[in-house]
Chain A
Amino acid sequence: MSFSEIAALTLHDIKNRLAQLASRAEARGDLETLREAMDSAAGLSRLLTYYRTDIGNLSLDIDAHSPSDLILELAADSRSMRPCAAEPDIREAPSIWFYDEALVRMVLVNALQNASRHARSRISLKACQRDAVLVFTVSDDGDGYPEKVLSDAEGNSPPVSREGTGLGIRLAKRIAEMHVNQNRKGAVSLENNLGAHFHLILP
């Protein structure tokens, strides 16, 4: 058995144990442990997904979804788990858009996790249609991205994130680029404007 195979199985096993931990924490109302367990499990999911993009084994399941539903779901999630709840903004959201909901959810959950680490008091989560693309935006009112993250458009030179491994942003870019419509590729863009703004752009 190769290292990658045994690593995948081990990650799987750890995820299951984190799920048990999360469920016990939830049952006794221990939000801090619940959050920690959920975030750790999400990190492992990202790693497994990243591995699958690496070996070309990740295929998208693009279908029609309601961006508003996803925004409201993630906002409700953060309300129940995080000290600083994300404010949803769906005023300019189209009624449907085409994307892989599970993967987009994974990207946005990660962006929200990052935002909650850096926000002073506000996080917002928005979906809006701009011409032929849908833009999901996660914003916080923290210090913004460091210059070297903003200038590293390709996400090649580590570390690329404000904290941590840079896995999240790399995976986000890969997932965005796998969303193709009429020869247009999706993208991720980062911006500083009174805080950090993470944009996931889907054609």
Chain B
Amino acid sequence: MYYDSRFTYFVFAMAIVSSYSNKRVLILDDMPEMRSSLRIQVASLGIDQVALAANVRDALEHLKIHHFDLMLCDYYLGGSTDGQQFLEYLRTKKIISRSTIVIMITAEQSYESVITAAECMPDDYLLKPFTADAIKVRLDRLLEKKVRLAQIDKLQDQGRWSEIIPACDEILAAKDKYLVDAMRVKGNALIMTRRFDDAVAFYKEALQLRSMPWAKLGLAKAQQGSGNHEHAKCTLQEIIAETPRFLAAYDALGHLHRENGQMEDALKILDDACVISPNALARHRAIAKVAEEASDFGRVEKALKTVLQKTINSPLRDLNDYATLGNALTELGDHAQAIAVIDEAKKNFKNSDDSPILASTEAIAHHKAGNADRARSALARTMKGGAKALSDTDKIAVAKAYLLHGQHDEAEQMLKHVVQNTPGQTALHGVVVNLMKVYGAQGKAENFIEESHAEVIQLNNDAVKIGQSGDLKAAAAMMREAAERLPGNLQILANASYALLLDMLANGIDAGELNDANRYRKLLVSLDQHHPKLDAISEAMAKLQSKFNVSQAS
């Protein structure tokens, strides 16, 4: 063929950048004169779909109604929230996708700019003052890039990591100016699909090109994933020494320390990061989380009071912050203040009654303060949405309230499921054991984790035995029930998918079973692309297809 796909893309890109008439722009700046001059500049480029926002609340209202192609956001927004914080909020809450271009307007050269997680960085910075032409040139450049990376951006937004790798390879082969962009995404995709050894090799090769902090961070994460924690730690410390503003490395090191149970080290490195970037809410929340796991409730209080103060009257405030702070205050024995924080949350958040975490915190605080009736009514609200609606974190909070109210069986059951659903998460298991020690049966606490795991193994063995005895239907039903209860346990997912397939091979196709077998397999792949049981599952799937001539649901 005479022309290749790059040619097509080039023509496409030209068509896109030549006209802005279909583009929608959001301008966020607290200064009225800046807003109006930006609007004039944008209008002079032929863009007339412009929305103006003076604060993050207005901006969120606009973002609720429309998709914007471009957001021009000033770094200083006057209030307690700055542009970077707001962008982090928008990206983590998935309010804007990668298809929205974000340009951060700053008054000074890289003064404010810290380097955080890649998805929370703006697409570009503009230093004040700038002309309308300058906006146009940058915008053209960014639009061209978005067109080139549209496919991998979309796959990233959808979390389809295994499909991203070949899409990146295509760009890498072209060796054009988007080479490094594609490298970043590919490395991350290798990690997300748990191909850690491939990722280590990939990042080492990337670092041959140039010593780049993001590639070193990727290398550290890949090293950690392949179990090499010492190397990961050294790599991260190296980044921090070389590039002190690279905050993502502090976060990764904090995470690594936490995984290894070194809570003090984790807190220290996160504190260091807060000195460099005191406004990043996510990091104060991370500190609160680690401190809570370490039972350092004074530190939880300090971190979350900072968050509350920075998000006061802001749409960025979060109900969970109030609940966690309430819990910490209760632990510190300050029941009155705990109740005040909970009441404030109930006043500020419309759906506060639906939050199991807040309800359990309320139940505990009132119980300890001696208000038995209010405690009981809060406790009843914890299970309002049913047990299935509870996340693992919710379950821990609810279980604590149950334990305190003497409902040990329900609490232990809930905690057992948390442990079974989170194999390998030692920090979380530590929290569970501690809860059992303090509020539950002291004797049961010691072996709680082992017994919970043993129960899963027993369940698997029982199912195998039943299957071997010929009752494949019963075995499949058993595993299916377990998979519904423990969708985070890889072994259960794998065996459930496999058992369903074996049952169908023997007893014929059942649409519901086939659907679940596929669903568990997909979930398994998303958690561990190289799970040892996957080959057997694929084989059984193929057999089923040829035997019954069914098409495999993708």
Which residues from A are CB-within-8-Å of B181? Answer: 64
The CA of A144 and the CA of B453, in the complex, are separated in Å by: 79
Q: Which of A34, A48, A64 contacts B180 (CB 8 A)?
A: A64
With known contacts A77-B137, A95-B179, A61–B129 Cβ distance under 8 A: no
Q: Chain B: interface residue count, which band?
A: 20 to 34
- Check: B244 CB closer than 8 A to any chain A CB: yes
* Minimum distance in angstroms from A67 CB to a CB of chain B: 9
User: Which residue of the partner chain A has the closest CB to B108?
Assistant: A48
- Check: B231 CB closer than 8 A to any chain A CB: no
Give A20-33 as 1s and 0s: 1 = Cβ < 8 Å from B's Cβ atoms: 10111011000000
With known contacts A37-B129, A80-B131, A81-B131, A96–B108 Cβ distance under 8 A: no
- B133 touching A61, Cβ below 8 Å: no
The CA of A194 and the CA of B475, in the complex, are separated in Å by: 88
The CA of A63 and the CA of B113, in the complex, are separated in Å by: 14
The CA of A63 and the CA of B37, in the complex, are separated in Å by: 31
Q: CB within 8 Å of A: which of B243-280?
A: 243-245
- Check: B465 CB closer than 8 A to any chain A CB: no
- Check: A7 CB closer than 8 A to any chain B CB: no
Q: Which of B41, B109, B133 contacts A23 (CB 8 A)?
A: B41
* Minimum distance in angstroms from A186 CB to a CB of chain B: 14
- B137 touching A73, Cβ below 8 Å: yes
Q: CB within 8 Å of B: which of A97-137?
A: 98, 100, 102-103, 106
Which residues from A are CB-within-8-Å of B243? Answer: 59
Which residues from B are CB-within-8-Å of A199? Answer: none
- B180 touching A15, Cβ below 8 Å: no
* Minimum distance in angstroms from B509 CB to a CB of chain A: 52
The CA of A76 and the CA of B113, in the complex, are separated in Å by: 26
- Check: B134 CB closer than 8 A to any chain A CB: yes
With known contacts A63-B212, A73-B137, A18–B129 Cβ distance under 8 A: yes
Which residues from B are CB-within-8-Å of A66? Answer: 177
- B107 touching A15, Cβ below 8 Å: yes
- A12 touching B108, Cβ below 8 Å: yes
- A102 touching B180, Cβ below 8 Å: no
The CA of A74 and the CA of B487, in the complex, are separated in Å by: 54
- Check: B33 CB closer than 8 A to any chain A CB: yes
Q: Which interface residue of B111, B177, B245 has the most chain A CB atoms within 10 A? A: B177
- A12 touching B129, Cβ below 8 Å: no
With known contacts A59-B243, A95-B175, A95-B179, A73–B138 Cβ distance under 8 A: yes
Known contacts A52-B111, A58-B110; can you find 18 more A-B pairs with CB under 8 A? A16-B107, A16-B128, A19-B129, A23-B37, A23-B41, A23-B129, A26-B132, A41-B128, A45-B109, A59-B110, A61-B110, A61-B113, A68-B177, A72-B137, A73-B138, A77-B134, A102-B127, A181-B211
Which residues from B are CB-within-8-Å of A100? Answer: 110
* Minimum distance in angstroms from B152 CB to a CB of chain A: 16
The CA of A98 and the CA of B180, in the complex, are separated in Å by: 10
With known contacts A61-B115, A77-B137, A27–B129 Cβ distance under 8 A: no
Q: Which of A49, A77, A181 contacts B133 (CB 8 A)?
A: A77
- Check: B210 CB closer than 8 A to any chain A CB: yes
- Check: B141 CB closer than 8 A to any chain A CB: yes
Give A38-62 as 1s and 0s: 1 = Cβ < 8 Å from B's Cβ atoms: 1001000100110010000011011
* Minimum distance in angstroms from A69 CB to a CB of chain B: 6
- Check: B450 CB closer than 8 A to any chain A CB: no
Residues of A with Cβ closer than 8 Å to B?
12, 15-16, 18-20, 22-24, 26-27, 34, 37-38, 41, 45, 48-49, 52, 58-59, 61-64, 66, 68-69, 72-73, 76-77, 80-81, 95-96, 98, 100, 102-103, 106, 181
Which residues from A are CB-within-8-Å of B40? Answer: 23, 27
- A98 touching B210, Cβ below 8 Å: yes
Q: Which of A16, A81, A102 contacts B125 (CB 8 A)?
A: A102
- B37 touching A106, Cβ below 8 Å: no
User: Which residue of the partner chain A has the closest CB to B180?
Assistant: A64
User: Which residue of the partner chain B has the closest CB to A105?
Assistant: B127
Q: Which of B107, B134, B177, B211 contacts A96 (CB 8 A)?
A: B177
The CA of A91 and the CA of B222, in the complex, are separated in Å by: 39
- Check: B176 CB closer than 8 A to any chain A CB: yes
The CA of A59 and the CA of B211, in the complex, are separated in Å by: 15
- A45 touching B110, Cβ below 8 Å: no
Which residues from A are CB-within-8-Å of B132? Answer: 26
User: Which residue of the partner chain A has the closest CB to B175?
Assistant: A95
The CA of A73 and the CA of B127, in the complex, are separated in Å by: 14
* Minimum distance in angstroms from A137 CB to a CB of chain B: 20
The CA of A106 and the CA of B210, in the complex, are separated in Å by: 23
User: Which residue of the partner chain B has the closest CB to A74?
Assistant: B137
- A103 touching B138, Cβ below 8 Å: no
User: Which residue of the partner chain A has the closest CB to B244?
Assistant: A59
